[in-house]
Amino acid sequence: RNIEEGGSLTIIATALVDTGSRMDEVIFEEFKGTGNMELQLDRSLFQRRIYPAIDIKKSNTRKEELLIPKEELGKIWLMRKALTDLNPAEAMELLVEKLKKTKTNSEFLKSMNK
């Protein structure tokens, strides 16, 4: 983490939504506002055996500008913008294909210049 003299608290939680329960929705919305990262899974990707079954458009990190170097952040934003033009299956398949060709995130981001 990019925190000077700061501690770190990591809590991983899951929430099942679309259950029809108003209480589930209220609890989910309450917790949603406290986290700094949201990873949304996509059942249709899972059913098509596309892994990881992540909905890239709906997943995000708040305050990422404090965690990621500026030169990398710009490339990440460009990549997300390009992926949002695709449907979730196409986006995940393309991202996984490109990631497999590199060994590190830094190498992956540098490859975007080509």
pLDDT tens for 42-99 read: 999 999 999 999 999 999 888 899 888 998 999 999 999 999 999 999 999 999 999 9
The label of the residue with tokens 């990190």 reads 61
pLDDT grade, residue 3 (50/70/90)? low
How buried is residue 103: exposed, middle or buried, by Cβ count under 10 Å (0-12/13-18/19+)?
exposed
Q: For residues 59 and 79, what is the distance between their CA atoms, to the nearest angstrom? A: 14
pLDDT of residue 31: 80
Q: Report residue 6's pLDDT band, with 50, 70 and 90 as the boundaries.
A: low
